[in-house]
Amino acid sequence: MSIYDNLNDRQKEAVLNVEGPMLVLAGAGSGKTKVITTRIGHMIKDIGIKPWNILAITFTNKAAKEMKERVEDIDGVDASDVWVSTFHSFCVRILRMEIENLGYNRNFVIYDGNDQKTLVKECLKELNISDKLYPVNSVMGKISSKKNELIEPMQYLKETEDDFRENVYANIYRLYQSKLEKNGALDFDDLIGMTVKLFKTREDILSKYQNRFKYIMVDEYQDTNTAQYTLTRLLAIAHTNLCVVGDDDQSIYSWRSADIKNILNFEHDFDNVKVVKLEQNYRCSQNILNAANEVIKNNISRKSKTLWTDNNEGNKIKYFVSDTEKEEARFITDQIAKSVRGCERIYSDFALLYRTNAQSRVLEEYLVKKGIPYALFGGTRFYERMEIKDVISYLRTVLNPIDDIAVKRIINVPKRGIGNTTIEKVAKIAREENLNFYDVLGRASDYTELKSPATKLKTFHTMIENLRNQMESLGLSMFIEEVLTEVGYVASYENENTIEADGRVENINEFISKAVEFENENEDATLESLLEEISLVADIDGLKEDADTVKLMTIHSAKGLEFPVVFLTGLEDGIFPGYRAMTSENENDMEEERRLCYVAITRAKQELYMTHAVSRLTHGRVQYNRVSRFMDEIPKELIDDSLAPKKKVNKEYASNETKINDFFKKNVYNKVEKPKNIEINYSEGDIVSHMKFGKGTVIKINPAGADYEVTVDFTKVGEKKLMSTFAKLKKV
């Protein structure tokens, strides 16, 4: 049997075209890996191209391994000398042979994330810069971003001469890079940056590798950043036999520096580019594809293409609207249990997708209640997340300060200058005098060995005692918010100003929502009873995760995967798309959210459920939500609303007579509602003060569900976006 027998016409066109530049626009589920591997086999077997003249680049080691194995499975093809690797692995191989030309030893070490953190901390200490004003994660993100843009320290310093805060980052970057060089080390981003530098400064070395790799293929081209794009172009420019494969409609990683313009502008980078569109989908039913096509066509920055399939039309998309997120979770788990009980499906057929990690909490709790086994991918179970364990440890400390484990976990979180050496000294005294760790903190000045850190230890002890005194006078959720404010925990993450930190704040807000929910359900809700319930839920973390489990993951984690049945949850403006995209002046932000929706829809093979809660607890307050604008973009003839409740859906948003399809178009949803019961005494242009950041000018105030997002330009730390409830800004 020929290797071409299983290819459709467009796939065969891409495989047989070998010479010159080619852009393969591969829609979701269109068989792009088969095209790449068959193309390599054709080049070696039928054309006689030497395997060592072929370079294939992809983004994960798993994908690279699978690609090479599939090439080797082709009869008569010896692919042992084909270079199939990730960008980083490719660059390591080059640098091990050539880096001495840049003044480095070829035995350089590669620093991982922990090594980088340690080095950044050294730089901050040496430059006498506070890690509260310039958090380590924020510094690492800034340095990584500049390296991905191929901006070196001295260039960054020059560009930021008139921007105090950015110039501080530039100075940290300069010292950080100097220390890397001194230590004979490269970080992950350097692997590509240094290879680009090598090729740009040594034309003879570049020429050697251009002649070695006469045929180059790059997979997932829509995810390349500036450094990866530059490296690819340098290698390919001599022979121009470059085939890039990707889908601009699945470009969802701009926050990792991916630049969609790389794939959109490919035809301008080379002359006589051949474009092949792989539009036949082998994964989804036609109804699912129709919905995906209708959503994504609303983007302006994209290459025109329309997915189609020979698969059957399939079921309509099942839409469910609920009063609350709990009703949404109950519906989902009921559907899964019913299908499994009726032997129609097994648990592993189902995937639950959501926009943010925080949304998993309610879903997890209902899966536990139903006894449905599940596995969480691309993240940690809600109550096992670092920030949630920190919050719980604070609450355990306030409730029961003799809990040494909890106290030790949070005594220096956020940082208070209480290091491990001090903690060990306190623990030693506690053991010798048969005291609890916390008791020693209160009398720290009595011990000569604690003379230096005594003030910091007693300040922490006093803070906890003050909170203990407030425990009875405040309601449960209000008390938890007071704890978080008093200890500065949320503020410490807001100060980082990174995507990761934003996600942690979202999870903390979800924890507050859990507390509010618990309060509403229990008249005698106490901190002790809340922690008891949480510990019982968390116990399921010991459950064995065999193959037959429901999969929970963010949409970003689901890219590249497929499932028979997908529940796409939280389809509400403010959740998906998020408020950041909704309020952004950059239309690209909303277009990326829409691409994310397209990715989510096309994960479903046979059945797709899309769910929406009219009200949702967010930041501990009820937030009323407009159905997602992405839902509006799907024609009603593709929607099955028979599962939607026939009862009245929240009187504020729909009447008994309102049909679901009309419900999408209610005028009340056409704007973001102003938060209720939230008052702020400042306006845009006012000077305000913040307990951590000092004074600043209010630039913008936007409704954000149950709260306001306030953008402030602080004199000391620059621009910050804060939630008004947590920020506690005061007008000056």
Which are the catalytic amino acids? 32-33, 219-220, 250, 603
Distance CA 712, CA 695 (A): 9
- The three-class DSSP label of residue 109 is strand
Distance CA 412, CA 444 (A): 16
Distance CA 355, CA 567 (A): 12
Beta carbons within 8 Å of 324's beta carbon, 6+ residues apart: 613, 614, 615, 616, 617
- The three-class DSSP label of residue 32 is helix
The owner of tokens 């809600």 is 382
- Helix (H) or strand (E) holding 365, with range, is helix 360-370
Distance CA 678, CA 96 (A): 59
Q: Which of 54, 85, 52 is nearest to 68 (CA)?
A: 85
Q: Are 548 and 336 in contact (CB under 8 A)?
A: no
Distance CA 693, CA 495 (A): 9
Q: Are 286 and 309 in contact (CB under 8 A)?
A: yes
Side chain identity at residue 120, one-letter code:
V
- Helix (H) or strand (E) holding 319, with range, is strand 317-322
- The three-class DSSP label of residue 709 is strand
Distance CA 287, CA 273 (A): 33
Distance CA 592, CA 599 (A): 10
Q: Which of 197, 244, 236 is nearest to 98 (CA)?
A: 197
Q: Specify the DSSP class assigned to residue 621.
A: E
Beta carbons within 8 Å of 222's beta carbon, 6+ residues apart: 246, 247, 248, 250, 251, 258, 260, 262, 263
How far out from the chain centre does Cα 670 lie? 28
Greatest alpha-carbon pair distance for the chain in Å reads 86
Q: Which of 369, 408, 370, 417 is nearest to 389 (CA)?
A: 408
Q: Specify the DSSP class assigned to residue 219.
A: S
Rg (CA), the chain: 28
Q: Which of 128, 259, 105 is nearest to 194 (CA)?
A: 105
Distance CA 162, CA 157 (A): 10
The owner of tokens 């520096």 is 257
With 0-12 / 13-18 / 19 or more C-beta atoms within 10 angstroms meaning exposed / middle / buried, residue 621 is buried
Distance CA 309, CA 285 (A): 7
* The residue count for the chain: 732
Side chain identity at residue 677, one-letter code:
N
HEC per residue, 225-266: CHHHHHHHHHHHCCCCCEEEEECHHHCCCHHHCCCCHHHHCH
CB count within 10 Å of CB 716 equals 13
Distance CA 340, CA 549 (A): 11
Distance CA 159, CA 116 (A): 24
Calculate the dihedral angle through the C-alpha atoms of 207, 213, 216, 222, rounding to the nearest 10 degrees.
Answer: -50
Strands in 54-58's sheet, in edge-to-edge order, are: 83-86, 54-58, 215-218, 242-246, 22-26, 274-278
Q: Per the structure block, which two tokens stand in for 39?
A: 């193309």
Side chain identity at residue 213, one-letter code:
F
